[in-house]
Amino acid sequence: MSLASRLPYTHPYAGGYPSLGSQPLPTDADAIDYLSRMATADGAGVETGVAVAVDAFITDSKALGVWDSIRSSCILAGARTLAGALVPLKNEGPELWDDPNPSFIVNSDGSAGTWDAATNTMVNAAVSTSNARPRFDWGTALPAGKTVRITGRFSGDVSHVYRIAAGTATVAYQSDINPDGSFAATVVPTSSALYIYIDGTLAPTSVTIESLSIREVIDDPVNSPVGDGFASGDYSRTAGLTGDGTSYIDSGRANDADQRNDNHLAVYITEAVSSNEVFAGVISTSNFCGRQLNWRSTNNVRGFANSISYLQSAVYSGSESLIGVTRENSTQQSLRVDGTTTTGDVDSADLPQENVYIFARNDDDVATSLSDATFAFYSVGTSLSLADLETAVSNLITRLKFALLTGENPAPYDIDTVAYVVRGYENGGTLE
């Protein structure tokens, strides 16, 4: 058992020392940010092996394309304390984008821009002599001079979005927008206004804003999760956080923060005890619409993503796995249980506004049907591949267990080797 892998990842000798050997350290900027905030809550940084497991998870999530869809999330394992486990994975404040209509449109050099509020579509009908006209201006509540994260997705003539700017600070040029119309950037706005420029030399053209998010990157997010009723004894560094039928987490994320046809809800269960409980969710008692994951006494997990309740279900064995539901259009949703994703024809419905709860369902700000399961992770956000999310999270939990059970750094080993060693420890073996 190496000493270096058990040193806090911030220790001067964590990366290597002649008598200790050398080992990889976390390198991803988002991982380092999260680990730093966790260390503040814990009172000390986690071991290097644990930190590397987190780093690999975030790197994997980005490579698999699910990172940007995770909006409110906690890794409920690995941290030294319950306080550290409740640190949000992402360090972003509440949504600032609240004005779908541009405050004015700058038409010049022959451009003829218009805005269709019904479809959130920018149109330019006339060829301009300037590639930066027309310009659509939003007088948003951007915190000028502070760091913000701006993400979104366009459809239509996506390549005709010449530039997105926050004041005079460039958010993205045409070259920064992905082929699917999505973009993501961290920027310091120079004023409170957001500008979107359409390449006027390519008219006629139209671009629709499918989604847009503006969040301040802050040290203490206002939408941090809040655990209600949990005690330190409910937390295990390897298994996660266990409910007792009276405790739950308010994720801090309003259900309508994610679009009606673009959302997901998922939990990673390491132990499921009794059925007929809600793993996570929010519901409107007026029309039973919302997002929810519910384990019924028939062993069916019933899930829905902004639809009328219980229209899709799958049998759950009670084993360790990701349970999740996602929606990316108005007519279908997908449910993942026991490593299998099924897609059902389920129409979307109006969104309740209340926050999503974990270990319970939020019924008009009242926690009901509370769970006594053990979760190592949860995520609330926009639509994604549940299979890819499960791959990333399952590998994370396996690497965390390896680091904590063996005291070694998982980085040098492939995931199959790591999983094999973990199974040995869980069945009474050791590497001694």
The DSSP annotation for 188-239 comes to --SSS-EEEEE-GGG-SEEEEEEEEEEEEE-SS-TT--EEES--GGGEETTT
Of 123, 100, 53, nearest to 412 (Cα)? 53
What pTM did the predictor assign? 0.74
Beta-sheet pairing, 277-283 with 361-363: parallel
Neighbours of 190 (CB within 10 A): 14
Of 273, 102, 132, nearest to 200 (Cα)? 132
Domains within the chain, CATH numbers bracketed: 67-90+221-384 (2.60.120), 95-217 (2.60.120)
Inter-residue contact 161 to 177 (CB < 8 Å):
yes
Exposure string over 71-92, b if 16+ CB within 10 A, otherwise e = bbbbbbbbbbbbbbbbbbbbbb
CA–CA distance, 187 with 173 (Å, rounded to integer): 13
pLDDT in tens, the chain (432 residues): 466 677 787 777 777 665 556 677 887 878 887 898 899 899 999 999 999 999 999 999 999 999 989 999 999 999 999 999 999 998 777 678 877 899 999 999 999 999 999 999 999 999 999 999 999 999 877 888 888 888 888 989 999 999 999 999 999 999 988 877 888 888 999 999 999 999 999 899 999 998 888 888 865 555 567 778 899 999 999 999 999 889 999 998 889 888 899 999 999 999 988 777 899 999 987 777 899 999 988 888 999 999 887 779 999 999 999 999 999 999 999 999 999 999 999 999 888 889 999 999 999 889 999 999 999 999 999 999 999 999 999 999 999 999 999 988 999 999 999 999 999 999 887 776
